[in-house]
Structure 1
């Protein structure tokens, strides 16, 4: 009798455990590198936490690339399969004449998600107030920096003449540089911008995205060879998002 009970228990465990293990093994691993962790990419995190990718048969390994240039390097070197960053990174690689260039296959955001942060509250802030000031604006040629320059020009300020945009500081180091005394203003994503304000080290003055309007700001991309060989994976990934 005792042996029968033990055997029944083993069979019961096998019935419930094996299908679970099997379904996990059947998932296709996709290494994803994002430009930064930000609430700006909430749809992606919802898809991850709600299991949308797993439902599509994908096991996502998420990495923080800390900058579009680093994300692209990871994609081209094979350290990751898919990148999430500004589409300009793919354009630069294509213009270099690489045979296996990066291709954009899905858009994630359509506005700049950064905020202009100053050193003190400015209730009546106007973009024209930036004349003669120094702004820590991010990597030169990156979508955040180019969008900032567009907004400045839109408000009658010529970068390099009326206002200085510092492009020497890496994306991941911008907040630290600002709190360390660099620049009069800085553009930051959430939750970093709000964190600085909560700590009394900076104050959110304006939304860059609200002023710039809609643009193809952040997108998913992969090497052409990966897309050609994994069209079903690309489609499943896109559907899950």
Structure 2
């Protein structure tokens, strides 16, 4: 959806101007591309870096950078749970913010060394390459505050893709209370 949205924002009509093969399992797209299927592929990491390191492709653009800030990760809870577990949710949010603070104050090499055990299928060099790319692109925000502008962009993309029938008010779905407190 993000890819098609970016194409449209740049005057390219996804259904008329090119062919997008969505029949390939997402976990297999890098292998399909390396095997000769398509001229371009959309990859999450570590697929993109693997294609580069194997000299089977090149990263030419970042959808995350080109789209604007889209909250790819958000945490959801029922209003009743929020009300009954404010301390737990605040501690959870503060712990996540502590991780964001670490990312903002450490080098890609230091970050890669810390997270490497979570990605045993990748060597440290690959992880450092990925982290450096994310670092240089400004992928990680300094805080966890889900801004209204990002919420609206997400809805623009979902509406454009036909996955959302109508807009939902930001104030009805998003609370920034915990994130704002965690930043302090």
For the aligned pair, the TM-score class normalised by the smaller chain equals 0.3 to 0.5
Question: TM-score if structure 2 supplies the norm length?
Answer: 0.44
Greater Cα radius of gyration, structure 1 or 2: 1
- Greater share of residues in helix: 2
Question: TM-score if structure 1 supplies the norm length?
Answer: 0.35
